[in-house]
Structure 1
Amino acid sequence: MCTEPVKFGQRALDCDKCGAWTHSLCGEMDNDLYDEIVNTNFDWMCPICEATHFDSSFFSSSSDNSDPECSTQETGKKQSTKAKPKSSHLKTVKGFTILNINFQSIMNKRSEWESLLHDIKPDFIQGTETWLEASIDNAEFLPEEYTAFRKDRPNDRHGGVIFVYRKDIPVIRRLDLEGDSESIWCQLDIEGRRSLLFGTVYKPRHDDIDTVIDFKNTLEIINSYSKLKDIIIQGDFNQPNVNWDDWSVIKDHSASKETAELLMQVLQNNGLDQLVKRPTRLNSILDLAMTNNASIVGEVDVIPGLSDHEMVKTVWKIGLKRNRKPPRKIYLRHRAETDKIKQDLSKFQEEYSSSKNNNSVQKKWDNFESKIKEVMEAHIPSKMISSRWNLPWFQREHRRMCRKKRRLYIKAKLTGDQAHWDEYKEFKKVVRRTLNKSRRDYINGTLAETVKENPKAFWSFINKIRKEEAGVADLKVNNKIVTSDGDKAEVLSSQFASVYTRKRHHIFRHWGGVTYLTYHTWLSMKMVSSSNSRT
């Protein structure tokens, strides 16, 4: 049991015997069990009193999904029926990975950026200092599997934030949470659990107190919601004078003490844990990762970055429902049995010409279409394929070099020897030059030389860097996310039908001093007249 007081907004229970408040984490209570108690009338006794109306197995079978965040609801009167804890799905479903990256220009590091996505395959990227502008489309630096929300600096390219996510994850942007600072907020609704809020924040200077105040205001809005949400915040906060081991300001540091104290106060008042404990630039922790639910954190690691900042890689123990596209069938036409196809179609033509049927045009077309498909299935081999992103210029030797760079980085971190750091930095430059050369040679050499012999590879590359086709975004209907194209069409059709009303047209109109009958009124009168004449 901890001795820390329960703060406003934290998940906790009031003991019905001693009256003491206990954090749900300290009571070894997962989210499902906590919600079960709060939403019923059970008495609850804290572990100190050692008197509870639950089975001892209730707490011995607790999961890792405990929550240091918050609620101040009290339990009511005792019931005779025992509550049964719900089993958590987090143990059986794989979690997701986030990269927190300071880019210092995405476009200048496309080869390293593409190889990073190909190697790690993250689900989300929370990036700062993108140095992008409105004329640069997402498709120019993102593979087909990903899309992104951006906030570029309008008058200065040396900034900007981005939230990259896989297209099969239904993320929505929360513009209502974004203030004037460089930040992006997104939400992911997951069936059966609390929603996730992702915040990507860039504080460009150590004394930028306005960004911290804007950050504080956003968290106050989030805390005002009736439904609790798990929050994940990452970004570059540029606050080198904070010792995150004991949450104190480093003495005699040139960075702003006032901004550092306010930042720590905002995090503590909102129950946010700062997870990064290793330096991300020189000897300072500038790139932070925060959450209000430490139980969902699986792994936090600092790995070699794309700029003078290192990256923060985090793994989260939350299962995601992905909207993966099903495999599609393609026909291998170069292996088709053309002679048999001609025989079958000639036979079908003779039978169709000799037959006398009075079928409708639609029926005739259905017969013709079914016959074509039957012939294709019989004489053209096929295979099932799924969309898969590959880097044609990223070879095995490049993967080995990236792994060696990672090993040199770990070695330098562990020893702290300047010679090891110099070795790592020099090899990092070699890797960057090698990747850039490989990508450049592929575009200027392989693609250009084989454009006549293999135009498919050339146009495939060109199509990937064209304008991104966003399509219709995922829709939220009755608290459920609609993701498939067919369901979206049905929802939009119903919406349009519900708001459509027939306009009432005037019977007569005046123009040029002449009064005449409108076409719609004439048509309606003619239909009524025809109906009366038939009766």
Structure 2
Amino acid sequence: MLDSTNGYFNSEPEDHNSSISVYSGKNKECICSSEVGHVDAAPVENPSPPQVDTTIAINRPRRTRMLPSDDNMYAQLRIYYQNVRGLRTKIDELFVAATDVDYDVIVLTETWLNDQINSIQQLGPSYTIYRNDRDPSSTGKTRGGGVLIAVSNRLSSKRNTINNNGIEQLWVNIHIQDATICVGVVYLPPSSADDANVIQAHVDTALDITNSLEPNAVHLLFGDYKPGLIWKFTYSGCASPDPSESTFSRSSIALLDGMSILNMSQMCTVTNTRNRTLDLLFVNEEASKNCYIFEADEPLVDIDSHHPPLAVTQVCPQRISFDEILEDRSFNFSKADIPGLNNSLQNIDWLNLLNHAIDVDVAVDRFTLTLTDLFRVHVPAPSPRNKPPWSNRRLRQLKSWKAAALRHYTSRRNPFTKQEFIIASSNYKSYNRFLYSRHVSKTQSNLKRNPKSFWSFVNGKRKENGLPSSMFLADELESTPRDICDLFVKHFSSVFKKASACQLKLNAVFAMFLVMC
């Protein structure tokens, strides 16, 4: 039974609100995530409630004023990077964590994925996922390796077609108004990290990418390079190898020379438990002006001691404009006013509306716009759903406390504020893990009695609802709506007829439509 005394297991559904905090220091403002959840999503038969640690009291935070929405403000692209050391056993953990994060881009190395694992299982419907898994035919290995870049669906993105030269590397172009941000990632296994020829092949690919970019494009390249170098910050704001402590092998020299040719600087000095920096971030001159990197306060999955997670804020030269990919309103046709809609359809003079269209495209636009306007009048919008579906008031309260603790910690970094944040985060993660496990258990037990809930659970993990997010034609892969439409045009171009020929049949087609109505 649920304990209603303290409201800990209050399952009242509410809207899921995200929260962010602002870190200010050294004349820099960076948005720090307070969304990252870390869970163990394995379903249990009879889940027991976690105990909330109240060693340190955390008061309910007041509402904080967000940064003003000024057109002259710079947009901040928030990027998360981590070497995850395998996702095969952490798929549910990553999925639940992704429901809390608000990163624009997520970059992962050592994913250990293969073609039997669908991308839509990883981060849910909020991200478009690009992968380059390890190829057993070229490496002779069936596990390990692999890289992944996930871009928020609010941003327009496209995979950069390259020749990988047998290297696990990947580049994605993110389009922001008239500017481009290119995000790349590479994973070099220990057997290749010391091979100067592999490093040179990687640099050659990066050079091809650089040459394909616009002059003012921002280029960021993440990588698990293992160069054996000790990095220290310089007065220029970038990092350089310490000559007295670094080991300059042929591969590390090839890497430094190649990045020098590319005019890219290394920004990361975050060290692991052995005081080494294995994961690097190279940026071009345009990116280095406004690029800030920190160790992430919370990981998406368990941290490997050799690879601390990174949080990067790239300040863009202009405000981000999110593409409107989907219709701005959904319709709940199960509650539609069918008689009223039917009456409105019959009262429209379709022939007069469509007869004066100059071509088929204009006619279709008029037809679609007319139907949409009628839907807005006679069909209500669906009720907002819980995000995530297992969320409740108590979980969001714990999340709010965690966000307050994170703001406190980022503004006053000391052992007490760190412990305060750890406790708040642990409370949130434990309860989130419990709710998700209970949600999965209920879905499994109700499969026979309520199969609709099972399919709702499955669809909640899908990238799309019926329409694919990307499509192939021969060797071409497109992921944006316009490019997908162009693929259809190319495929059916042999049977297209000119608009003038189609216009002759337009009246007859819509006359048949009226008869059917």
Matched ranges for 1:387-406 at <5 A: 390-394=387-391, 395-396=395-396, 399=399
* C-alpha separation in 2, matches of 1:404 and 1:373: 43
Which position in structure 2 is the counterpart of 1:55? none
Rate the CA distance shift 1:389–1:473 in 2: closer, same or farther, 3 A: farther
Q: 3-state SS of the aligned residue for 1:183?
A: strand
Please tell me the residue identity of whatever aligns with 1:219: A
Cα contact 2:120–2:462 (8 A) shared by 1? yes
Q: 3-state SS of the aligned residue for 2:151?
A: strand
Which position in structure 1 is the counterpart of 2:64? none
Cα contact 1:183–1:200 (8 A) shared by 2? yes
Q: 3-state SS of the aligned residue for 1:235?
A: strand
Rate the CA distance shift 1:392–1:284 in 2: closer, same or farther, 3 A: farther
Which position in structure 2 is the counterpart of 1:129? 110
Which position in structure 2 is the counterpart of 1:201? 186
User: 1:166 and 2:160 equivalent?
Assistant: no
Deviations 1:168-222 (A, max 9, x none): 43322223253221111222345534x3322111123353544422222123334
Residue 372 of structure 1: how far off its partner (Å) = 11
* C-alpha separation in 1, matches of 2:481 and 2:163: 27
Gaps of 5+ in 1: 1-88, 353-358, 364-368, 476-480, 502-535
Which position in structure 1 is the counterpart of 2:53? none
Q: 3-state SS of the aligned residue for 2:292?
A: strand
Cα contact 1:143–1:389 (8 A) shared by 2? no
Cα contact 1:249–1:257 (8 A) shared by 2? no
Aligned partner (choices 241, 249, 259) of residue 251 of structure 2: 259
Q: 3-state SS of the aligned residue for 1:198?
A: strand
Q: What is the aligned residue count?
A: 380
CA RMSD of aligned residues (A): 5.0
Please tell me the residue identity of whatever aligns with 2:171: W
Residue 474 of structure 1: how far off its partner (Å) = 11
* C-alpha separation in 2, matches of 1:91 and 1:376: 37
* C-alpha separation in 2, matches of 1:111 and 1:397: 23
Aligned partner (choices 294, 316, 341) of residue 314 of structure 2: 316
Aligned partner (choices 163, 166, 178) of residue 164 of structure 2: 178
Rate the CA distance shift 1:257–1:437 in 2: closer, same or farther, 3 A: farther
Cα contact 2:163–2:205 (8 A) shared by 1? yes
* C-alpha separation in 2, matches of 1:390 and 1:332: 22
Residue 133 of structure 1: how far off its partner (Å) = 1.2
Rate the CA distance shift 1:462–1:500 in 2: closer, same or farther, 3 A: closer
Aligned partner (choices 281, 290, 313) of residue 282 of structure 2: 290
- Normalised to the residue count of structure 2, the TM-score between the two structures is 0.58
* C-alpha separation in 1, matches of 2:258 and 2:490: 45
Rate the CA distance shift 1:389–1:310 in 2: closer, same or farther, 3 A: farther
- Normalised to the residue count of structure 1, the TM-score between the two structures is 0.57
Cα contact 2:470–2:479 (8 A) shared by 1? no
Cα contact 2:106–2:151 (8 A) shared by 1? yes
Residue 484 of structure 1: how far off its partner (Å) = 4.0
Please tell me the residue identity of whatever aligns with 1:322: F
Residue 129 of structure 1: how far off its partner (Å) = 0.8
Please tell me the residue identity of whatever aligns with 1:396: R
User: 1:302 and 2:295 equivalent?
Assistant: yes
* C-alpha separation in 2, matches of 1:424 and 1:240: 33
* C-alpha separation in 2, matches of 1:372 and 1:490: 25
Deviations 1:20-60 (A, max 9, x none): xxxxxxxxxxxxxxxxxxxxxxxxxxxxxxxxxxxxxxxxx
Cα contact 2:176–2:320 (8 A) shared by 1? yes
Cα contact 2:265–2:288 (8 A) shared by 1? no
* C-alpha separation in 1, matches of 2:184 and 2:401: 33
Which position in structure 2 is the counterpart of 1:331? 332
Q: 3-state SS of the aligned residue for 2:263?
A: coil
* C-alpha separation in 1, matches of 2:71 and 2:460: 35
Aligned partner (choices 254, 257, 268) of residue 260 of structure 2: 268
Aligned partner (choices 485, 489, 500) of residue 493 of structure 1: 489
Please tell me the residue identity of whatever aligns with 2:227: Q
Which position in structure 1 is the counterpart of 2:438? 441
Q: 3-state SS of the aligned residue for 2:185?
A: strand
Rate the CA distance shift 1:337–1:407 in 2: closer, same or farther, 3 A: closer
Q: 3-state SS of the aligned residue for 1:231?
A: strand
Which position in structure 2 is the counterpart of 1:150? 131
Q: 3-state SS of the aligned residue for 2:172?
A: strand
* C-alpha separation in 2, matches of 1:327 and 1:261: 52
Which position in structure 2 is the counterpart of 1:242? 230
* C-alpha separation in 2, matches of 1:483 and 1:467: 14
Which position in structure 2 is the counterpart of 1:12? none
Which position in structure 2 is the counterpart of 1:44? none
* C-alpha separation in 1, matches of 2:369 and 2:201: 62
Deviations 1:215-237 (A, max 9, x none): 22123334555953431111322
Which position in structure 1 is the counterpart of 2:459? 463
Rate the CA distance shift 1:157–1:397 in 2: closer, same or farther, 3 A: farther
Q: Which has the larger radius of gyration?
A: 1
Cα contact 2:113–2:146 (8 A) shared by 1? yes
Cα contact 1:178–1:185 (8 A) shared by 2? no
Which position in structure 1 is the counterpart of 2:100? 119
Q: 3-state SS of the aligned residue for 1:212?
A: helix
Rate the CA distance shift 1:401–1:157 in 2: closer, same or farther, 3 A: farther
Cα contact 2:157–2:480 (8 A) shared by 1? no
Cα contact 1:280–1:311 (8 A) shared by 2? no
Of 99-108 and 428-437, deviating more is 428-437
Rate the CA distance shift 1:337–1:105 in 2: closer, same or farther, 3 A: same
Rate the CA distance shift 1:178–1:427 in 2: closer, same or farther, 3 A: farther
Q: Give aligned-pair identity as a percent.
A: 20
Residue 265 of structure 1: how far off its partner (Å) = 2.8
